[in-house]
Amino acid sequence: MIEGRHFRRDWSSGYDIGRKAAAQNLADAAAMGAVPTAIVVGLGLPADLPVEWLEALTDGLRDECALVGASVAGGDITRCPLVVLGVTVMGDLEGRAPVLRSGARPGQVVAVSGLLGYSAAGLALLEKYGGDASGEAVEVHRRPRPPYASGPEAARLGATAMLDVSDGLVQDLGHIAAASAVGIVLDPELLRAGDAVVRAAAEVGADPLDWVLAGGEDHALAAVFPSDICLTPGWNVAGRVVEGEGVQVAGRVAPARGWDHFGPDMS
C-alpha cells in the first residue's frame, strides 16, 4: 500500500490504514480456505512522521489481526519519502487442500459472502466531501470488513474455487473464469446494493449496482460451489458457471473494469 495511491493520510488515520493493510492481506489467506495466523510487515516512513501516527498504525495492524487470532510476527522498516506498507500473511489450512481459482466447472453456482460496493461508495463520498465525509460506506472504505470465517467455511463445504473481491466482482471473477477455462454469468437481481451504497449513489449521481459489480476493496469473498451443496446463511448465490469464457451480467451491459493497478492515483 502506497500513500497517495492506495490511501491518503488526510482521509484516513494511522489506525485506519493499519486495519486496512492487515485486512486486505488476511482476506487473501481466508480466500484460499486458510485460517490466518500471522503477518510480517515491511514499512517505509518519512523521517518527520509523528511517532503517535506510527503507534496508531501498529495498533490498527494488531487489532485487525486479533479478529482472527493472528499476530504481527515481525518485519522491517526504513526511511521513505511516503508511507509504504508491504504485508505478507501466513495461514493454517488445517489439513485441507488450498482452494484455488482453477476448480470451477460448468453447472456450479457462484456465491458471495460479505459486503459489495461499500468501499467504492465511501471513496466517492470522500472525493466529494473530503475528510469530513461520514457514514457506513466511508467507514468501510477506511476499514474493510472481510468475512474471514467464510473462507474456511467454504472450504469445508466443498468450494471448488474462491478469491477475495479486491479489484471488483466482475474483474476478480474473471480470474476464476480464466484459470478454470469457463464462463460466469451473474444475475443482477441477486446482487442488491446495500442501503449505504444506495444513499451514496444518490448523493453523487451514480448507479449503485455499478459499485457492486466493479467496486473494489471490500474484500468480500466470492466462491464457486457444486450446485447440490446447501450453503450456509453467510453465502448468497449470485450467478452460475457456464461453458465459455469471461464474465457476463445477465440482461445488462457489464460495467467498466474494476481497479486498474496502473491507473491514476487517488485525487
Q: What is the maximum span of the chain, computed from C-alpha positions, in angstroms?
A: 58
Q: Tell me if 116 sits within 8 A of 212, measured CB to CB.
A: yes
Q: Which helix (H) or strand (E) holds 91?
A: strand 84-92
> Is 92 annotated as a binding-site member?
no
> Is 217 annotated as a binding-site member?
yes
Residue 244 CB neighbour total at 10 angstroms: 14
**CA pair distance 146, 23, nearest whole angstrom:** 7
85: left (phi over 0), alpha (psi -120 to 50) or beta: beta
Nearest to 247 by CA among 148, 146, 172, 136: 172
Residue 225 CB neighbour total at 10 angstroms: 23
Q: Which helix (H) or strand (E) holds 29?
A: helix 14-30
**CA pair distance 215, 213, nearest whole angstrom:** 6
Residue 80 identity: C
Beta bridge partners of 44: 78, 84
> Is 246 annotated as a binding-site member?
no
> Is 75 annotated as a binding-site member?
yes
> Is 164 annotated as a binding-site member?
yes
> Is 167 annotated as a binding-site member?
yes
Query: Which residue numbers belong to the known binding site for Mg(2+)?
Result: 28, 76, 164, 167
Query: Which residue numbers belong to the known binding site for substrate?
Result: 6, 217, 259
Query: Which residue numbers belong to the known binding site for ATP?
Result: 75-76, 101, 166
Query: Which residue numbers belong to the known binding site?
Result: 6, 28, 75-76, 101, 164, 166-167, 217, 259
